[in-house]
Amino acid sequence: MAELDKVLYDLVSPMVDDKECLSVTEEPSENAREVILNVTAKDDDIARLIGRRGTMASALRQVMSVASHTDDRKVTIKFNERD
């Protein structure tokens, strides 16, 4: 089983300026086949990770769905700004 939070962290860490404020955590879900990942970073970095019209966020979700395919799980990614 892939540690999806670590996979996502490795994908987004080169894209952010302040790696100290970056965190990726897994949130419990009511559905056992769903994984909810929270990406928390500074305001500018979150804007970069979401991208224009959400294109970067969509690409990250696609890559993570491929990574979770072997476990037959659905990945949901939420982006949060750190104060």
Domains of the chain (ranges; CATH) run 4-81 (3.30.300.20)
- Residue 45 structure tokens: 């970095």
Model confidence band, residue 46 (pLDDT cutoffs 50, 70, 90): very high
Mean pLDDT for the chain overall: 92
**Whole-structure pTM value:** 0.89
Please list, in sequence order, all residues whose beta carbon lies within 8 angstroms of the beta carbon of residue 39, skipping any fewer than 6 positions away. Answer: 8, 12, 22, 23, 24, 46, 49, 77, 78, 79, 80
CA distance 49 to 67: 18
